A and B are shown apart, each in its own frame.
Chain A
Amino acid sequence: MSAPLLEVEDLSVEYVTDTRTVRAVDRVSFTVGEGEVFGLAGESGCGKSTIANAILRLLRDPAVIAGGSIRFRGTDVLAFDHERLREFRWRQVAMVFQSAMNSLNPVMTIGDQIADIYTTHDRISKKEALRRSGDLLDLVGIPHDRLRSYPHQLSGGMRQRVVIAMATALRPPLLIMDEPTTALDVVVQQEIMAQIKDLQRELGFAVLFITHDMSLMVELSDRMAVMYAGRFVETARAQAVFEEPSHPYTRALMNAFPPMSGPRTRLRGLGEGVRFRDIPDLVSVGPGHWAAPIADDVPSSEASR
C-alpha cells in the first residue's frame, strides 16, 4: 500500500480562554487512503467537526492546535504559509459543511457562485467558467437552466446537490463532509447518499465523512472511528464496528437509533449512565480493529448498555 492521502497523528486541539482550557480533540491519530471513505462518528460536542476544521486550518481563536501533525500526501499541512493554504483548500481538500444548504449566497445565482470557483482558482474566462459550471450540474443531475436560479428557488435537496457539486469542482482528492444530510428528510437523504457514492466511484476522491448516524455511516464508509469526548474509542472497518463493536460507547451509540428490523425492545439512550473518563490509548482487538481498553473498575452494568 502506498502512502496514505491524509495522515493525522496525535492531533490535539484546545480551546483556550483566560480562565480555562478545554481540550476538544485529544491525541487523535488516523489515516485516510486514496479513494477511501473514512467515517467519524460521535455525539454533538465530541470533537468531530473540530478535527475537520483543523485539517483545513480553519480553526480560529480561541481554538489552537496544541500538538500533533497533519500530513497531506506527505507534506506538513500545519507548516503551510498563506499562499500554500489558498492552493491547498478547495483544490486538494474541499469541504461540505453542516447545513450546507444555507452556505450558498442568497443574492448570487447558482451559476455565478460555481463559476466563481473556476475564475478564482483556474483563472479562466467567465464564459468558460459558466460552461464548466453547467457540466458540473450535469454530474449531480440538475438541469442546466438552473444556473440562472437563485438558491431560494431550489429545494433543500437540490441545494445540497449544488453544494456537493461545488466541492468536487476542482477535482480534489479529498472531500470532507460534515453531516451532509442532517437537515434533509429520509427520501432526499437517500438520494444524496446514492449520489455521493456514484460521484465517488466516478471521480475517485476520498471522503472524510462526519455524522452521528451510525447506520448511515456503516452504509457509506470503508473504515470508521467512534469518537467520545475528544478521544477515539474505537476504529476499524465499518462493517466490523457494526458487527462486533468492542467499546461500550460504540454499542451505546448504535443503540441510540431504533433499528428497522428485529423485535421492538425498550432502548436506553446515551444517558448519564454511559460516561467515560481518561480514555486510554487504543489497543488492537482484532485485525485492523482497535479499541480503547475498559478499566476493570467500570461496573459491568455499564458495559452492557
Chain B
Amino acid sequence: MSAQTPVMSIRGLEKTFPIGGMLSRGRVRALGGVDLDIAPGEIVALVGESGSGKSTLARCLARLEQPSGGSLLFEGRDILRQEPRRASRSYRSAVQMIFQDPFGSLNPVHRVGHFLERPLRLHDAVSGRAELENAKRRLMEKVDLPAELLDRYPHELSGGQRQRIAIARALAVNPRLILADEPTSMLDVSVRIGVLNLMRTLCEQQGISMLYITHDLASARYLADRIVVMFAGEFVEGGEAMTLLAHPQHPYTRLLISAVPDPRRRGAFDPRERAQLRREVLKPVSCPFEGRSDTPCSRDAAVFHTVSESPEHWVRCGLYAPPSDAPGTALELPDTIEGATPA
C-alpha cells in the first residue's frame, strides 16, 4: 500500500474556530494537526464520537472550510498553496462529498434527473443531448436504480434511494476521492447494508478512494480497509481495520469498542472498567511502549508508537495529553455517573 502514491496526503492539518462574539478572542481547536495518507482505491474509516473533529476534517478536504494550517497534497499537488482561496473546478470534481442527510441534500423542487445533469454539465463531462441522457442512465445503473426514477421528485423516493442518487451525483464527475460523512446513519436498517455494499463495489471496481466517516464501529469494520480513531481533534490510533479492532491499544479506542452493543458479550460491559478507561483517556498516566528507542515517549508532543508494521497498526503515546483548548467531549459528562456507580 505504501508503495503507491497516495491520492491524498494530509500533513499537519489544523483548524481552529473562533468562539464567542465578534470581539471575543476565544478559539476552539477542532483539528490539532493531523497526518493521513489515503491510497488509490482504499477505504479509510474515520471513527470517533460527535465533536471529535471527523466532519471538520472532511469539510477541510472538500474545501468547504479553510484550514488554519498544514498542507494537503492531492495526487502530488500542494492544493492549499496552488489554490489558496478557493478550490479549482478540477479539484472539486475529483474530491466529492456525500452527506449524512439524503433528505436535506436533494433540492425538493427538482426531479432526480436534474441532480445528475447539473454536475455533468458544469464539469463539461458530456456534450450533446443524447450523450447526456446516456450518461444519466449509466449513473443510475451504477447505483442499482431503475432509470424510470430520473423523472421522479425526491419526496417520491425512499431514504436509501435518495442516498443512492447522492452517490450517483458524486460519481457523475469521475471523482478520485469520495468523502462520505455518516452516509448511512439516517437510513433505515432495511437499506443500510445495501448502501455500504454499493460503496464498497464502487471503490473496488473504479479504484475510487473513500474517507468513510462514522461513529458506527461495526460498519467501519465491515467497509473499511483501514480505521483511524479520532479524539478531540487528533488521531489516537490507526491501522488495518480487523487488526485494530481485535487488538485496540489506546484507552479511547477501547472505550469506543466497549460502547458498541454486542449480544455476544456476557452481561453488560463493566461500568467500572469504562470509568477507568475514561480516566485514562482524560488524564494519561502511563504508556505501555515506554522505553522504545525509535519513538521515545513525550508528554508535550504527540508521538506515535508502532504496534505492528504489517499489518499496519500504530497508537499515540499514552503519556501525551492534548492541550486544554481541545473541544469538550461527551467523555466529560459521565463523570457524574461515576459517583452513582461506586468505583
Contact residues of A with B, CB < 8 Å? 43-44, 141-143, 155-158, 185-191, 193-195, 197-198, 212-216, 218-219, 239, 242, 253, 255-261, 264, 266-271
Q: Mark B49-62, 1 if CB is under 8 A from A, else 0.
A: 11000000000000
Contact of A260 among B221, B333, B334, B341 (CB under 8 A): B221
Task: Report yes or no: B271 in contact with A44, Cβ–Cβ below 8 A.
Answer: no
A261 to B264, CA, bound (A): 9
Task: Report yes or no: B259 in contact with A142, Cβ–Cβ below 8 A.
Answer: no
Please tell me the number of chain B residues within 8 Å of chain A, measured between CB atoms: 44
Task: Report yes or no: A186 in contact with B189, Cβ–Cβ below 8 A.
Answer: no
Task: Report yes or no: A216 in contact with B261, Cβ–Cβ below 8 A.
Answer: yes
Stretch at the interface among B19-27, B129-137, B210-218, B283-291: B210-218
Residue numbers in A under 8 Å from B104 (CB-CB): none
Distance from B163 Cβ to chain A, minimum over Cβ atoms (Å): 13
Within 8 A of A (CB), among B318-343: 330-331, 333-334, 336-337, 339-341
A187 to B269, CA, bound (A): 12
Q: A257-B189, A260-B260 are in contact. Are A191 and B333 (CB under 8 A)?
A: yes
Q: Give 15 pairs: A residue, B residue, CB < 8 Å, sorted on A.
A: A141-B334, A155-B330, A185-B50, A185-B330, A187-B215, A191-B330, A194-B271, A213-B261, A255-B193, A256-B189, A258-B193, A258-B219, A260-B221, A269-B192, A270-B190
Task: Report yes or no: A143 in contact with B330, Cβ–Cβ below 8 A.
Answer: no
Residue numbers in B under 8 Å from A198 (CB-CB): 340-341
Q: B268 contacts the other chain (Cβ, under 8 Å)? A: yes
Q: A155-B330, A269-B197 are in contact. Are A186 and B190 (CB under 8 A)?
A: no
Task: Report yes or no: B49 in contact with A186, Cβ–Cβ below 8 A.
Answer: yes
Contact residues of B with A, CB < 8 Å? 49-50, 188-194, 196-197, 215-219, 221-222, 242, 245, 255-265, 268-269, 271, 274, 330-331, 333-334, 336-337, 339-341
Residue numbers in B under 8 Å from A214 (CB-CB): 263
Task: Report yes or no: B222 in contact with A187, Cβ–Cβ below 8 A.
Answer: no
In the A-B complex, the 8 residue pairs with the smallest Cβ-Cβ separation, listed nearest first, are: A269-B193, A258-B222, A190-B259, A218-B263, A270-B190, A215-B261, A141-B336, A44-B188
Task: Report yes or no: A157 in contact with B333, Cβ–Cβ below 8 A.
Answer: yes
Task: Report yes or no: A270 in contact with B336, Cβ–Cβ below 8 A.
Answer: no
Distance from A163 Cβ to chain B, minimum over Cβ atoms (Å): 15
Q: A194-B271, A256-B189, A260-B217 are in contact. Are A187 and B331 (CB under 8 A)?
A: yes
A34 to B340, CA, bound (A): 25
Contact of A190 among B194, B269, B341 (CB under 8 A): B269
Q: How many A-B residue pairs have CB under 8 A?
A: 125
Nearest-CB residue, chain A, relative to B195: A269
A143 to B221, CA, bound (A): 37
A158 to B221, CA, bound (A): 29
Q: A155-B330, A264-B221 are in contact. Are A185 and B215 (CB under 8 A)?
A: yes
Task: Report yes or no: B337 in contact with A43, Cβ–Cβ below 8 A.
Answer: no
Task: Report yes or no: B50 in contact with A156, Cβ–Cβ below 8 A.
Answer: yes
Task: Report yes or no: B222 in contact with A186, Cβ–Cβ below 8 A.
Answer: no
Q: A158-B333, A215-B263, A266-B197 are in contact. Are A260 and B257 (CB under 8 A)?
A: yes
Residue numbers in B under 8 Å from A216 (CB-CB): 261
Residue numbers in A under 8 Å from B219 (CB-CB): 258
Nearest-CB residue, chain A, relative to B191: A269
Distance from B310 Cβ to chain A, minimum over Cβ atoms (Å): 18
Q: A186-B259, A190-B258, A267-B193 are in contact. Are A260 and B337 (CB under 8 A)?
A: no
Contact of B268 among A215, A219, A239, A267 (CB under 8 A): A219
Q: A142-B336, A215-B263 are in contact. Are A258 and B218 (CB under 8 A)?
A: yes
Task: Report yes or no: A267 in contact with B222, Cβ–Cβ below 8 A.
Answer: yes
Residue numbers in A under 8 Å from B262 (CB-CB): 215, 219, 260-261
Distance from A126 Cβ to chain B, minimum over Cβ atoms (Å): 26
Given pairs A188-B49, A256-B193, A271-B194, 6 additional interface contacts (CB within 8 A): A190-B259, A198-B340, A215-B263, A216-B261, A219-B265, A260-B245
Nearest-CB residue, chain B, relative to A243: B263
Residue numbers in A under 8 Å from B271 (CB-CB): 194
Task: Report yes or no: A212 in contact with B189, Cβ–Cβ below 8 A.
Answer: yes
Q: A215-B263, A218-B263, A219-B263 are in contact. Are A186 and B333 (CB under 8 A)?
A: no
Residue numbers in B under 8 Å from A195 (CB-CB): 337
